[in-house]
């Protein structure tokens, strides 16, 4: 029997995804509020939806001051539309690790209950694995687990999807970092 909080929240996987997304977003907002909110008295608005309401954070410090602020949800929508969560659409520079993790966890939160055959779910899981791997430093086991689930799902439901090659290549890199050379070689061979 599920506890009430989990039942109301949409299940354990959704509750966990919600908590991780909120944690990652809060980290970005706090950092932005502390180090970057020096716009004077001017109202800062999301450069995507143009709304000054909600939790805004500075997604891209390289952009012009007013073009760098955004809502996580707006960045997720933009990332899905243009199939790129790793770089700023305005100046093309790479997002920082915290921003990538915030976008990836929010994306996973949105698609966690999609069917395993869903391309949005597969891409969200791949992006989450990549972002978690950026934060992993020396311990990449959580990223390995996410990549392996993503690869398994793609093999089963979307074997001709080009994303599977990217998953194999990044999983091979993580295996290599963990000195799992045979696994790394197998992933690299599978990607060709």
The whole-number pLDDT of residue 183 equals 92
What letter would DSSP give residue 48?
A: T
What single-letter DSSP state applies at residue 44?
Answer: P
Q: Give the chain's residues under pLDDT 50.
A: 35-36, 41
The predicted pLDDT at position 38 comes to 53
pLDDT value of residue 181: 92
Give the pLDDT of residue 168: 92
Residues facing 12 on adjacent strands: none
In sequence order, the 6+-apart residues with CB closer than 8 A to the CB of 137 are: none
In sequence order, the β-bridge partners of residue 57 are 70
Could you tell me which of 88, 100, 85 has the C-alpha nearest to residue 135? 100
Give the whole-angstrom CA distance, residue 48 versus residue 77. Answer: 10
- 115 burial via Cβ count (<10 Å: 0-12, 13-18, 19+): exposed
Rounded-to-integer distance, Cα 191 and Cα 182, Å: 14
3-state secondary structure of 68: coil
Name which of 93, 159, 95, 155 is nearest 130 in CA terms.
95
Tell me how long the chain is.
Answer: 192
Please tell me the predicted confidence (pLDDT) of residue 41.
Answer: 41
> Model-level pTM?
0.78
- Give the β-pairing of 57-58 and 69-70: antiparallel
Kindly give, in sequence order, each residue whose CB lies less than 8 Å from that of residue 71, ignoring residues fewer than 6 positions away: 46, 48, 49, 51, 54, 55, 56
């Amino acid at each position: 029997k599920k506890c009430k909080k989990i039942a109301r929240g949409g299940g354990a996987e959704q509750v966990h995804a919600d908590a991780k997304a909120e944690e990652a977003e809060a980290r970005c907002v706090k950092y932005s509020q502390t180090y970057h909110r020096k716009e004077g008295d001017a109202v800062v608005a999301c450069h995507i939806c143009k709304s000054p309401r909600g939790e805004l954070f500075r997604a891209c410090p390289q952009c012009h001051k007013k073009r760098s602020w955004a809502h996580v949800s707006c960045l997720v929508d933009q990332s899905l539309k243009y199939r790129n969560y790793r770089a700023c659409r305005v100046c093309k520079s790479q997002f920082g690790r915290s921003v990538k993790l915030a976008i990836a966890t929010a994306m996973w939160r949105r698609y966690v209950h999609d069917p395993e055959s869903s391309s949005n779910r597969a891409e969200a899981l791949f992006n989450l694995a990549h972002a978690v791997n950026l934060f992993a430093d020396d311990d990449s086991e959580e990223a390995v687990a996410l990549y392996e689930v993503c690869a398994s799902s793609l093999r089963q439901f979307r074997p001709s999807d080009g994303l599977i090659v990217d998953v194999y290549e990044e999983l091979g890199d993580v295996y290599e970092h963990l000195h799992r050379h045979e696994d790394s070689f197998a992933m690299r061979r599978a990607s060709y």
